[in-house]
Amino acid sequence: MRRRQLPSAVVSGALSIALAAAGSSAFASKVSRLTPPSELFASGSAKPLIARFLPGQRFDLQATIQPDAGQTIDSFYFSVDDDTTNPAQYRPSAGVTYPLADRMSMVSESASPATCVDGGSGKTTGKSGCKLAAGLPGNTVVVSQRAYSTFTPGVHTLKITATQSDGTKVTATGNFEVFDLKTNGNAGAAKNIIIFLGDGMGATQRTAARIMARGYAQGKAKSLLAMDSFPYSSMVMTSSLNSIVTDSAPGMQNYVTGNKAANNQEGVFPDDTLDAFDNPRVEYLSEYLHNLQGKSLGVVTTADVFDATPASMAIHTSARGNGTGIVDQFLDDRSQTGLAVLMGGGRKWFLPNQSDSISPQAANGSQRRTANDYVLPDDVVAGWNVARGKLDPSRDLIGDFQAAGFAYAPNNAGLTDAFSHGVPNKLLGLFAYSNMNVAFDKIAARRGNSAVVDAFGFPDQPMLDEMTDAALKVLSKNRNGFVAMIEGASIDKQAHLMDTDRWMLEALEFDRAIAVGKAFAEAHGDTLIIVTADHECSGAAIIGAATASATDLQAHQNAGPSIVGTYDAAKFPKYTIAADGYPVSTLIDGKMLIGYGANADRYETWLPSTFPTKDTQQPFPPAQSPADPNVRNKDIGYFISGQVAGDQAVHTATDVPLTAFGPGADAFNGVIDNTDVFFKLAAAATTH
Ligand SMILES: [Zn+2]
């Protein structure tokens, strides 16, 4: 073995300790990150297995290597199991099959595209100028093998081997698993998959919607919600890669990649570079099934379409806030995902911004910026066969969608018009600048009080059940089937704001969309539907019902706990449901009351707020909106002290319910991880 040279010039404290602990033959060079993530690499334990993939599902291999001071990394290769006994392959669909040995030499011969080197060390890569995160030694490299996949089931060992300039080898080992789908009992039975994602919809939000919409008599629900009527159910563990409490990005993407993402990240694993679009990727369910079977993708939300949940069906980025790049990627990589329907709010990302500035506000509402757009490095473009991207704030993205064959609906009337000459092949609907107005305010407008939707500037927005019906009509034109994600987004957003009346109606709107989906599945027996949430939000609990009448509630707005009827005093709140499916009023005698266990400070009146609380995503938020729950009702409400900082309630780590209907639904039972859902969906949709 070549004798290595000890670092002389720069030895940090941590480096000294590592050297001392490892003994005289030790060297300080190390692999500080190995992707995909594994416990074998992190702790030396072979279990639990962290990264799991479908046969042929693509993912990036990546390592961060810190050579000794004064040394550089000259070459590297990744190997899976034994190099010679497991010739892992690129997917056949790419038209190329390389034995791993060939790929090793290929990588070491063309080091630059796959290597991110700190600019200070003399090497640079990629058009975007790959920069490392702060705190790493200047000669650190991040090396990648893009779009790897294998069809061999079982647990595999991943090894990175690198050679530094003095000839010393640096290695690290991890593991991952490839699922064996051969034993799958539902193989190929689900041509269509519909995921109804109630953002923030825990058991409380579901129960409250049932009590409000269906009513109880002598302890029994008079009838069930559509989401309650599905025959199979699970409890889902919702944690992300880096926390027990997830945000909506991993909360969604874990369902459709089979792998844990870190908070704020979508379709990628964490890395050590600053570029938010160069992270190691993992293939989505939509991409896998589009490549394998030609399925279409539909994404429907009441949020802004750039938001974490819709983006986590198709977009690869480590920064969920990069709206311009996210909406561009929806269109530019549609050949990978089969995107055929995109509906929700978010027009602000699609309108051209001629100045690349939003301060002062772009007059047309555009928030397109170069700062949150992307240009991909060469190795991502080549490995994944995706568009490079462009920094183009002045892009007319609606026009580009239309040029790509999408019918465009700017409002509910436009949604009807899009079907006037038959069902369109592709559909884009953008019904607001950012998040759409909530059901509470859309229904008020349809009943004649349009003050809120008028103040937002979008008086004619569709309800989610209408959007769902349109989406399913378009998607079902593809005889190869589809994957659809339909999101009730503001169950979460209004729970954050502790606006009880608004999130309850969001849950009702969501259930009406689920009823549309269920009717579709009953007519199309090859459709699998799941209804679940990415996480619970706000620690909501149904604590009882008001002991006061609606009139008394209005007269004594700071009554606080004195009017909370608990146990027997709660009785059974009785809402009158109008023909449109929503309560005539949420302000009834003995109304249902909610407490929050993950709350910031607020002033509680137990009354519906006239205007929704301020949505900071809106380019033109109405002046009538209270700024936040800390000041909302400050003069008339009862002060409730919170347990969390800030002015909003937060997500919780509590398991969420999942209900399932259709072929493959019987696989959803017991307590499961959110990543398990991916493999159950894929098992129902594929044959191997
Ligand atoms: Zn949330």
DSSP code string of 117-156: E-GGGT---TTTT--BPTTS-TT-EEEEEEEE-----EEE
Q: How far apart are CA 198 and CA 166, in angstroms?
A: 56
Number of folded domains in the chain?
Answer: 1
In the reported structure, the alpha carbon of residue 600 is separated from the centroid of ligand 1 by a whole-number distance in angstroms of 14
In the reported structure, the alpha carbon of residue 489 is separated from the centroid of ligand 1 by a whole-number distance in angstroms of 9
In the reported structure, the alpha carbon of residue 67 is separated from the centroid of ligand 1 by a whole-number distance in angstroms of 41
In the reported structure, the alpha carbon of residue 492 is separated from the centroid of ligand 1 by a whole-number distance in angstroms of 5
In the reported structure, the alpha carbon of residue 647 is separated from the centroid of ligand 1 by a whole-number distance in angstroms of 13
49 assigned to some structural domain? yes
What does the H/E/C string look like for 584-640? CCCCCCCCEEEEECCCCCEEECCCCCCCCCCCCCCCCCCCCCCCCCCCCCCCCCEEE
63 assigned to some structural domain? yes
For the residues of 480-549, what is the DSSP string, one character each?
A: T-EEEEEEETHHHHHHHTT-HHHHHHHHHHHHHHHHHHHHHHHHSTTEEEEEE-S-EETTEEEEEEESS-
In the reported structure, the alpha carbon of residue 652 is separated from the centroid of ligand 1 by a whole-number distance in angstroms of 10
How many helices (H) does the chain have, and how many strands (E)? 20, 27
463 assigned to some structural domain? no
In the reported structure, the alpha carbon of residue 493 is separated from the centroid of ligand 1 by a whole-number distance in angstroms of 6
In the reported structure, the alpha carbon of residue 537 is separated from the centroid of ligand 1 by a whole-number distance in angstroms of 6
In the reported structure, the alpha carbon of residue 649 is separated from the centroid of ligand 1 by a whole-number distance in angstroms of 9
Q: Return the pLDDT at 183.
A: 61
In the reported structure, the alpha carbon of residue 538 is separated from the centroid of ligand 1 by a whole-number distance in angstroms of 9
CB 176 within 8 A of CB 38: yes
Residue at token pair 């990627």: 329
By DSSP bridging, strand 651-652 and strand 536-537 are: antiparallel
Range of the domain at 126: 30-179
In the reported structure, the alpha carbon of residue 14 is separated from the centroid of ligand 1 by a whole-number distance in angstroms of 38
Residue 643 host element (H or E): none
In the reported structure, the alpha carbon of residue 496 is separated from the centroid of ligand 1 by a whole-number distance in angstroms of 6
Residue at token pair 């190995």: 34
In the reported structure, the alpha carbon of residue 519 is separated from the centroid of ligand 1 by a whole-number distance in angstroms of 29
Q: Return the pLDDT at 127.
A: 34
pLDDT tens-digit profile of 464-481?
A: 999 999 999 999 999 999
In the reported structure, the alpha carbon of residue 567 is separated from the centroid of ligand 1 by a whole-number distance in angstroms of 30
In the reported structure, the alpha carbon of residue 347 is separated from the centroid of ligand 1 by a whole-number distance in angstroms of 21
In the reported structure, the alpha carbon of residue 439 is separated from the centroid of ligand 1 by a whole-number distance in angstroms of 18
103 assigned to some structural domain? yes
- Spell out, as residue ranges, where the chain has pLDDT lower than 50: 1-26, 84-115, 117-128
Residue 455 host element (H or E): helix 451-456
In the reported structure, the alpha carbon of residue 651 is separated from the centroid of ligand 1 by a whole-number distance in angstroms of 6
In the reported structure, the alpha carbon of residue 601 is separated from the centroid of ligand 1 by a whole-number distance in angstroms of 17
Phi-psi region of 361 (alpha: psi -120 to 50; beta: other; left: phi over 0): beta
Q: Return the pLDDT at 105.
A: 28
In the reported structure, the alpha carbon of residue 249 is separated from the centroid of ligand 1 by a whole-number distance in angstroms of 10
In the reported structure, the alpha carbon of residue 641 is separated from the centroid of ligand 1 by a whole-number distance in angstroms of 21
In the reported structure, the alpha carbon of residue 514 is separated from the centroid of ligand 1 by a whole-number distance in angstroms of 21
Q: Return the pLDDT at 112.
A: 34
Q: Return the pLDDT at 375.
A: 95
In the reported structure, the alpha carbon of residue 245 is separated from the centroid of ligand 1 by a whole-number distance in angstroms of 11
Q: How far apart are CA 336 and CA 484, in angstroms?
A: 15
Taking the CA atoms of 332, 337, 339 and 342 in sequence, report the sign of the dihedral they define. negative
In the reported structure, the alpha carbon of residue 532 is separated from the centroid of ligand 1 by a whole-number distance in angstroms of 14
In the reported structure, the alpha carbon of residue 497 is separated from the centroid of ligand 1 by a whole-number distance in angstroms of 10
Per DSSP, 677 falls in state H
Specify the pTM: 0.91
In the reported structure, the alpha carbon of residue 498 is separated from the centroid of ligand 1 by a whole-number distance in angstroms of 12
In the reported structure, the alpha carbon of residue 251 is separated from the centroid of ligand 1 by a whole-number distance in angstroms of 10
**338, 341, 345, 350: CA torsion to nearest 10:** 60
In the reported structure, the alpha carbon of residue 236 is separated from the centroid of ligand 1 by a whole-number distance in angstroms of 17
In the reported structure, the alpha carbon of residue 246 is separated from the centroid of ligand 1 by a whole-number distance in angstroms of 9
In the reported structure, the alpha carbon of residue 201 is separated from the centroid of ligand 1 by a whole-number distance in angstroms of 10
In the reported structure, the alpha carbon of residue 341 is separated from the centroid of ligand 1 by a whole-number distance in angstroms of 24
In the reported structure, the alpha carbon of residue 442 is separated from the centroid of ligand 1 by a whole-number distance in angstroms of 21
189 assigned to some structural domain? no
429 assigned to some structural domain? no
In the reported structure, the alpha carbon of residue 534 is separated from the centroid of ligand 1 by a whole-number distance in angstroms of 9
In the reported structure, the alpha carbon of residue 53 is separated from the centroid of ligand 1 by a whole-number distance in angstroms of 27
Half-sphere exposure of 411 (CA within 13 A, CB side): 8
Q: Return the pLDDT at 393.
A: 97
In the reported structure, the alpha carbon of residue 215 is separated from the centroid of ligand 1 by a whole-number distance in angstroms of 28
SS3 of residue 170 by DSSP = strand
303 assigned to some structural domain? no
The token duo for 415 is 């949604």
In the reported structure, the alpha carbon of residue 311 is separated from the centroid of ligand 1 by a whole-number distance in angstroms of 14
In the reported structure, the alpha carbon of residue 650 is separated from the centroid of ligand 1 by a whole-number distance in angstroms of 7
Longest dimension (CA), the chain: 87
What CATH number is associated with residue 172? Answer: 2.60.40.10
119 assigned to some structural domain? yes
CB 544 within 8 A of CB 595: no
